Structure 1
Amino acid sequence: MPKVQKAFGNRLRDLRQEQCLTQEELAHQAGLNRTYIGDIERGEKNITLGSMDKLAKALGIKLRDFFDWEY
């Protein structure tokens, strides 16, 4: 798996957990499948910009907030 996918997945997990959301809750709020959230967090999926936008809105953050990490 590409290093950037794993880093993004870790960042998503951190942001989700900071808000005390389960994968299922985040998926519901974003209109995505729970298994897709898990795949992203494990770095197994190459997320699209559209899905990233849905997740940002569900988390109440800006897209750029996803990239506040080093890999």
Structure 2
Amino acid sequence: MGDYYPQIRKLKRQGDRLVRQSLGELYQRGGASTDLLPLRDITASVASTIELQEHAGRLADLLRVKDA
């Protein structure tokens, strides 16, 4: 359990990089705003999920430290 939070942080950095990359590709491709908005919303949902996973990892680490 001690290695859980560092692994989550690594996954968060990778996820953030992929979200930024996908947003860049999305806006570079261009197109109608009616096509871009749903894809941007999906990307925002993925980013939110990554944030929630990091929060859960942080809580798990705090509980591990508290029990130690």
Using the size of structure 2 for normalisation, the TM-score is 0.39
Larger radius of gyration: 2
Could you say which structure has the greater relative contact order, defined with CA pairs below 8 angstroms and 6 or more residues apart?
Answer: 2
Higher helix share: 2
TM-score (normalizing by structure 1): 0.38
